[in-house]
Amino acid sequence: MDCFSGQLNQVFMNILANAIDAVNDFNSRFKFAKIKLNTNKITIKNFIEKCQLKISVADHDKGMSEEIKHKIFDHLCTTKAVGNGKSLRIAIARQIVE
């Protein structure tokens, strides 16, 4: 299967940037001593299922609500304060993959 490696790299960078943002948002609620006791983690897994490569990226935060999951790929959707939203990156990543 052919792919555009530069665009695929952008997809992974966008997903990882969102995971990093989630970890940073999570940490902003706590003091350093508590963060140090509960180390942050972003987990990346890959596996083959039914002749397809599947990649999973997860952080240790609570995840998205069902409401956000339904609109996360909308260009104007954001869970951040005005000016800080990055969902456009997710919308672009989806266009590249599809």
Single-letter amino acid code for the residue at 39:
T
9's tokens? 């790299």
pLDDT of 72 higher than 70: yes
Please give the Cα distance from 57 to 59 (Å, whole number).
7
Res 48: pLDDT? 92
CATH topology assigned to domain 5-97: Heat Shock Protein 90 (3.30.565)
Instruction: Decide if pLDDT at 1 tops 70.
Output: no
CA nearest to 25, candidates 75, 89, 85 = 85
Percent of the chain with pLDDT over 70: 85
* pLDDT, tens digit, 9 for 90 and up, residues 6-25: 888 888 888 888 788 878 88
Residue 85 has pLDDT above 80, yes or no: no
Q: Taking all residues of the chain, what is their mean pLDDT, rounded to a whole number?
A: 79
Per the confidence metrics, is the pTM higher than 0.85? no
Query: Given a cut of 80, is residue 49 above it in pLDDT?
Result: yes
